[in-house]
Chains A and B, each alone.
Chain A
Amino acid sequence: MRKPLATAIAIAIGSIVLLGYFLPGTLLFKIRLELVHWAVILTGVAVLVGVFNLFSVHVEKIRNRQKGSVYSLFLIASLLFSFLFGLAFGPDHVTIRLLFEAVVIPVEASLMAILAVTLIYACIRLLRKRLDLMAVIFLATAFLVLLGTAPFPFGEIPILGSLIRPMIVNVPAVAGARGIILGVALGTLTTGLRILLGTDRPYGSN
């Protein structure tokens, strides 16, 4: 009884929100806003659920003495400290800001730098991994766009930054991006309808 009821509620609320979007000014629109407001509250609480899930996973890792459990111990310690400290002194406290500036931002910036190296390495090995026309076009396009992005120390290459790059970026790149986005939108639509109609419920026992 519980499963069909939950499915019916989900379908009803989804239909209301969808119709409320297309029918502004109606009662459905107001109900939709209220339901969205509830969803926002749930999302905020879900952040706490995520933090608790993160905590429990690493505690179990420490308990089972799995590989890398030392790092889990540091994670748990830092999590507890920042959480408790932030609750006590607020997120705007100097200490919290110091932690953020000294730990979070450098770590993520470093990851971004690693990503830059990784992408360059991937470009180098692209043709070795997959030698076809599209791969060559991909690499050539990336190279030309990079060339036209910024002037060189020795000067700017004529027509490269003023003509070629804008033409590539504004025409084929944007067109391709739009096509991909349209396809993604179609997929989003059909997936959403599938969830809305209750025909696809991967969660929940069947």
Chain B
Amino acid sequence: MSSIRCPLCGKPNPEELEECQFCQARLKPIMAPMEPLVPESTEGGGSTEKAQDLLAGLAAQAGEDEEVIPDWLADLRMESSPDKGAANATPESPEPGKEEDWLTSLRDGSDLTAESPDAKISVSKPGVTGELGGVLPEWLTDLHEESAKEPFQPVVGDLTDWQTDEAAKEISSDLIASTEDYKKPASSSNADIPEWLAKLPAEQTSKETKNQEAAQIESTIPAEPSIEESKPMESPVLTMAGIHDGVPVQDGGLPKEPTAPAENPPESTTSEGEETSDLLSDLDKETAGPSPEKPPETLVEDTSAEIPEWLSSWSVVDRSTAETSPEPAAEKSASPLETLPSSSTPALIPDDEALPGADVDELLSKEMPDWLSSVGAEEREQEKPADGAEITLPPEQDESLTPAELPSWVQAMRPLEAVIPGVPLKEVGEKIPEKEGPLAGLSGILPTGPALDSTRKPHPYGIKLQVSQRQQEGAALLETMLASESEPRPITAPTMELSKRVLRWAVAGILFVVVGVSTFTRIRITPMAGSYPPQVGAAKDVINALSASDPVLLVFDYQPGLSGELDAAAAPVVDHLMLRGVHLTLLSTSPTGPVLAERFLQKTQSVHDYQRGGQYINLGYLPGGSAGVLNFALNPTNAILLTVDGQPAWKSQPLQGVHLLSDFAALIIITDNAETGRSWIEQAGTFLRSSPMVMVVSAQTEPLLLPYYESNQVQGLVSGLVGAAAYEYINGRPALGYQYWDSFSIGLLAAELIILVGGLWGLRTSIRSRRKPEVDIG
């Protein structure tokens, strides 16, 4: 069983199918009868029906014997592919019942391609029906007669009967609109252009072929009413009609020439073309749509965009415009012309008007209409641009249309490549014969309108922005800044300033020299204080009140580092205690306290010959900090069981009769830390009852513990070397305080001077640096 190849997808289908089972494209084009197309309405189906009748007739004629093929068609075929006979291109007679189907599908414009292998209608030349049989419809005959009389011109008026009908007007408007679409830029309606038309490959024909074809067209196509507005932009409607779904368009059945671009709607300019012009204008208005993507300039000057490829081969239609013409969209207005078979059937030429093969030259040599010749001239000018070369618009074409004024921001975003018309991928320098379909063996038949050169490389629409020089500089600057952020910078280890080291050494040296000299030389130049603090006297009074063998708790809670000061501060107090003959109980909340206590007694109180276990006892370390103090205050015998040398503590002689904290006659706290003193005051103070508490503290803690003395929680306070000196003075027993007094005074003076001079120098430097701008050192 033979199969039919789908003209759209190319897949084989059973012969009996009307539509492709894969893409639902029409397999068998409906040939309209050879009668004027009478489009009834664009919306209704009346025009469709009439168009279908026409096409059915065409199809019927196409299915006739090949012998009825016009000579001119046959000649064209032979030129293209002599080996391919018309038999290959013989379409089947379309069944009347199927006329509507293919017509409808044609109307949708989605089924048919240029290369319809088994199209029912194939053409050997663009715009020429090859297999419609020898009987041409009357309308086509009329067209031929008219064209013979006058140069082919876009249909404006003086159309045949069918054109006078409203349906014809619609058809004409569709054709015109379709023509306009080829002319217009992106604004043109893609929907109005048949899909098959858009997919038809661009065919590049030689100039001679074009002329021949153009001449042939002229002779076969009825005379078209001329258009006074013979704008070079206008491409022949015949082109559109001829290629409109491949259905040959007869004179009178087609608008003879395309209308003017959308900007310039066609007008009836000729006397006999008034009706035609109206029709064309109607067609134009109805089918006017958005222009394609390309800028208008491209299409403005490319008048040949309206002329299909097959016609351009005869009539020097500018193919560049065909490239840029928009793709015909799938949706099209209902137009009988749109339902024409996909095989781009050129305009039907009646048999009696068919040109013999020898008359091709004669056909092409005939006088071409103005519009056709002007378009051809443009085509020659713009023919074959170099690859990648920027196609410049002919200046004369720029004058016809005013380019749209785009906003600046739109212009900036406009892809530059979009301005450049695409360069065809390949030069079609020769006609490629059709291999399948009714046009098998023929070449150059299928029109390659602006939207049909699918072989062209799509325009590379770039996304480059048009940036100004200033913007580029700013972007470069930003890029540099960002790059510098990521660049690793070597981190130089900052070294201590030499001045800092020198200053430290200088201060240390001065103090060392001053204090050392005064200590080693034992100079006595500093007078003693004329008065002593009252808290020192109070402390003396407390100790004076003690009796011999009274147990006194002596707490050593200072650090070894401050032993120099506190040894000097505590020495006269402990000396006074020993002079009174009290029994001392040593205790410490610091781990180093017991050893410090032993060292203190050995170093400062060796003159009194106190013996451990006899006159004093060392209870050692009391852990727990404040909690330990509280624990001891609550129950001393339970807090400390053994002495530092492992002997039972509370059975020794110094602690006889002592069971509670209050059993001690006095509590002497030696500390360098205000918090430690507070802990003893707060935790143990309440448990002392009537026993006094005397504190020997460092000079730094005096301000913090003085309120306790003033609140009578502490009965005596000796602070620092000054207090020690004062205590020694009032006690009349010089000790370490007296030894360190001169060194202490001189050292203190040196420190004061250093602070004064250094502070003033720092103040001056700071003020000067604030006045000067800051220098970034890093």
Query: Looking across the interface, which residue of chain A has its beta carbon closest to that of B746?
Result: A153
* Cβ A131 vs Cβ B745 within 8 A: no
Given A36-B631, A91-B644, A126-B759: A162 touches B623 (CB 8 Å cut-off): no
* Cβ B627 vs Cβ A36 within 8 A: yes
Q: How many residue pairs bridge A and B at CB < 8 Å?
A: 162
> Closest approach, in angstroms, between the C-beta of A38 and any C-beta of chain B?
10
Which B residues between 503 and 559 are near A, CB-CB below 8 angstroms? Answer: 503-504, 507-508, 511, 525-531, 559
Chain A residues, CB < 8 A from B767: 131
* Cβ B598 vs Cβ A97 within 8 A: yes
Most A CB contacts (10 A, CB to CB) among B561, B634, B646, B751 go to B561
Stretch at the interface among A69-77, A166-174, A195-203: A166-174
* Cβ B722 vs Cβ A40 within 8 A: no
* Cβ B759 vs Cβ A124 within 8 A: yes
Which B residues between 29 and 55 are near A, CB-CB below 8 angstroms? Answer: none
Which A residues between 78 and 98 are near B, CB-CB below 8 angstroms? Answer: 90-92, 96-97
**What is the bound-complex CA distance between A151 and B532, given in angstroms?**
12
Which B residues between 465 and 523 are near A, CB-CB below 8 angstroms? Answer: 503-504, 507-508, 511
Query: Looking across the interface, which residue of chain B has its beta carbon closest to that of A169?
Result: B703
Chain A residues, CB < 8 A from B560: 100, 104-105, 108-109
Most B CB contacts (10 A, CB to CB) among A44, A136, A153 go to A153
A25 at the interface (CB under 8 A from B): no
> Closest approach, in angstroms, between the C-beta of A140 and any C-beta of chain B?
9
Given A36-B627, A126-B759, A131-B763: A104 touches B745 (CB 8 Å cut-off): no
Which B residues between 89 and 123 are near A, CB-CB below 8 angstroms? Answer: none
* Cβ A121 vs Cβ B503 within 8 A: yes
Residue from B595, B748, B754 in contact with A149 in the complex, judged by beta carbons closer than 8 Å: B748
Chain B residues, CB < 8 A from A90: 644-646
* Cβ B631 vs Cβ A152 within 8 A: no
Chain A residues, CB < 8 A from B594: 91-92
Query: Looking across the interface, which residue of chain A has its beta carbon closest to that of B741?
Result: A150
> Closest approach, in angstroms, between the C-beta of B584 and any C-beta of chain A?
16
A117-141 vs B, CB cutoff 8 Å, 1 = contact: the mask equals 1001101111110010000100100
Given A128-B765, A153-B746: A109 touches B564 (CB 8 Å cut-off): yes
A111 at the interface (CB under 8 A from B): yes
| Tally of B interface residues using CB under 8 Å | 68
Residue from B628, B644, B742, B748 in contact with A92 in the complex, judged by beta carbons closer than 8 Å: B644
* Cβ B751 vs Cβ A146 within 8 A: yes
* Cβ B525 vs Cβ A153 within 8 A: yes
**What is the bound-complex CA distance between A127 and B721, given in angstroms?**
30
Interface of B is mostly: helix
Given A124-B755, A127-B762: A150 touches B722 (CB 8 Å cut-off): yes
Which B residues between 578 and 602 are near A, CB-CB below 8 angstroms? Answer: 591-592, 594-595, 598-599
Given A92-B645, A153-B746: A127 touches B766 (CB 8 Å cut-off): yes
Chain A residues, CB < 8 A from B82: none
B744 at the interface (CB under 8 A from A): yes
B336-371 vs A, CB cutoff 8 Å, 1 = contact: the mask equals 000000000000000000000000000000000000
Chain A residues, CB < 8 A from B564: 109, 112
Chain B residues, CB < 8 A from A136: 763
| Interchain residue pairs with CB less than 8 A apart (29) | A33-B634, A37-B638, A39-B627, A40-B631, A40-B639, A90-B645, A91-B595, A91-B620, A92-B594, A92-B644, A97-B599, A101-B599, A108-B559, A120-B751, A120-B758, A121-B503, A124-B503, A124-B755, A124-B759, A126-B759, A131-B763, A131-B766, A136-B763, A139-B759, A143-B759, A150-B526, A151-B526, A153-B526, A161-B529
**8 shortest A-B CB distances, which residue pairs?**
A124-B758, A40-B624, A108-B561, A44-B623, A127-B762, A128-B762, A112-B561, A108-B560
List 5 additional A-B contacts (Cβ < 8 Å) besides A37-B638, A142-B755, A169-B702: A37-B631, A92-B618, A151-B527, A153-B526, A161-B529
